[in-house]
Copies of this chain bind each other. A is one copy, B any other.
Amino acid sequence: MGDKLQIEVTSEAKSNTKLEVEERGHEAVVDEPSQFGGEDEGPNPLEYMFTGLAGCLNVTIHHVAMEKEVEVKKLEINVTGGIDLQKFMTGEGGRAGFQEINVEIEIETDADSEVETKLLEEAEERCPVSDNLQHETSITVNKK
């Protein structure tokens, strides 16, 4: 099994919507558009989550393609979802997050369509972000 890869991000709130984040030397800003009280200085948290999913699928699709000796010539990944903000806004209602996340993939390879479909299915199973979203993951929150 080997050692686990340790992932860490640290961050500091600059406003009620703006968060400055440091990831292994990279810096990022999370913010909200004006309709949610922010100044739109960066993508919002949901867009970051979708970006992580798209990035993970890119890496995993290429990794599985390499195993199958399939050349990926082009890959575009779109992630969309509609979210009901009632729970976030009021504390009442259904679940706080997306009920469903939709991924649309345009892929060109040197393999046939059936192989491509199997490649995408296997990549989805082996993509860590996809796994963490599709299955229950424990989150522990501790106050310093």
Contact = CB atoms under 8 A, between A and B. Distances in A.
Interface of A: 1-2, 4-13, 16-19, 21, 23-24, 26, 28, 30, 32-33, 36, 42-56, 58-60, 62-64, 66, 72, 74-89, 91, 93, 95-107, 113, 116-117, 120-122, 124-144
A30 B81 CA distance: 20
Given A98-B137, A128-B88, A138-B100, A43 B16 contact: no
B77 A46 contact: no
Q: Taking each of A7, A33, A55, A85, which has the highest tally of chain B beta carbons within 10 Å of its own beta carbon?
A: A55
Contacts of A97: 128-132, 135, 137
Tallying the copies of this chain within the complex gives 2
A117 B86 CA distance: 23
Contacts of A137: 97-101, 133-134
A24 B17 contact: no
Q: List 10 tightest A-B contacts by C-beta distance, closest first.
A: A30-B55, A4-B82, A48-B52, A16-B62, A49-B52, A97-B131, A97-B132, A45-B55, A45-B56, A96-B131
Q: Taking each of A23, A76, A99, A100, which has the highest tally of chain B beta carbons within 10 Å of its own beta carbon?
A: A23
A99 B18 CA distance: 28
A4 to B, nearest CB: 3
